[in-house]
Amino acid sequence: MSTSPLSLMNSSPPADVQFANLNGRRVHYRSVGSGPTPVIFLSGWGCDTSLWVNQAPVLAPHYRVLLIDLPGHGGSDKPDIPYSIDLFLGAVNAVVEQVQAPKVVAVGHSLGGMVAYEYARRWPEKIVALIWVDAAFSMPIDVDQQIAGLRKRAEEFRSPDYEAKVRSFVDQLYVPETPTAIRETVTESILSTPQHVLASCMEGLADPRLFQHETLDIPAFAIFSAFWNPERFVDLIKKTLPRLQYELLTGVGHYPMLEKPEQVNAALGRFLATLSPCEGPIMEIRLICPGSKPSNRMRRRGN
């Protein structure tokens, strides 16, 4: 089980810790709240369910929240096997089938965002909506160069000094405003993930199939961190997700759910309220009431 300092075990309401089975291996997930359509949360590379420590307690009074550890991460089993997107999709589907959910809202960060998107591609009938929180997306630009870069990085993470290389890589994902405590917590969480998992995940992203896209006509929402200038890619992404709406969050790095949780929760609440009747504000009215104006540090974009 993960020993991350952001453990959800101390959050309220308490999460029900469970496991799904994928080919004889355990997939760890936490279930909190109730509702007919679960909102599933998928964490990024090297991270676990504790990444959503600020979101689960806020959403749980209004939705069933499922926080899933991808294979190799957190409380899920970590065998020395290839960690491909197909493996992750199987793990997510094992959880969805175990909880007998006909449809879900899929939320993903970084690698988890890519998994959520690929899940929607494979099982569109099971998806109500797709939500990205600074998610990864295989841009169909200079594909051979991207694949070569991913494979090179995977080899670096297999080297004896991989910890230094991982730290250097992760340091690029923060901004000057990122609190030191969050930097340290995230970096140590990633380094607590086994080396073979970190390297194999990176290798798995070099799959050429991930760069081949078709139109996916589903509700989609993204919270982007402004530091990497994501707006330059929006038109390209909308060729695949034509119904994409997004908000641009400034002053945060790659982990906005930790760096600016109130703004992320407010954005999630506004979008989720458009998918089903709102039973009440998810947070304080000043932060989340549907129809309220976005924070002055958040810019809304739509079709």
Over residues 20-36, mean pLDDT: 96
pLDDT band at 291 (very low <50, low <70, confident <90, very high): very low
| pTM greater than 0.75 | yes
pLDDT band at 16 (very low <50, low <70, confident <90, very high): confident
Sequence-ordered strand ranges (E) for the chain: 16-22, 25-32, 39-42, 65-68, 104-110, 127-135, 220-225, 244-249, 298-301
Over residues 218-225, mean pLDDT: 98
Query: What share of the chain has pLDDT > 70, as a percent?
Result: 86
Q: How far, CA to CA in Å, does 91 sit from each of 52, 72, 112, 140? A: 19, 11, 12, 26
Residues 236-254: tens digit of each pLDDT: 999 999 999 999 999 999 9
Q: Which strands form 244-249's sheet, in the order they lie side by side?
A: 16-22, 25-32, 65-68, 39-42, 104-110, 127-135, 220-225, 244-249, 298-301
H or E element in which residue 201 lies: helix 195-204
Over residues 4-15, mean pLDDT: 46
Over residues 74-100, mean pLDDT: 98
Whole-number pLDDT of residue 46? 98
Name all domains of the chain by residue range, CATH numbers in brackets: 8-141+212-301 (3.40.50.1820)
Residues 129-180: tens digit of each pLDDT: 999 999 999 999 999 999 999 999 999 999 999 999 999 999 999 999 999 9
pLDDT band at 116 (very low <50, low <70, confident <90, very high): very high
CA of residue 275 relative to chain centroid, distance: 19
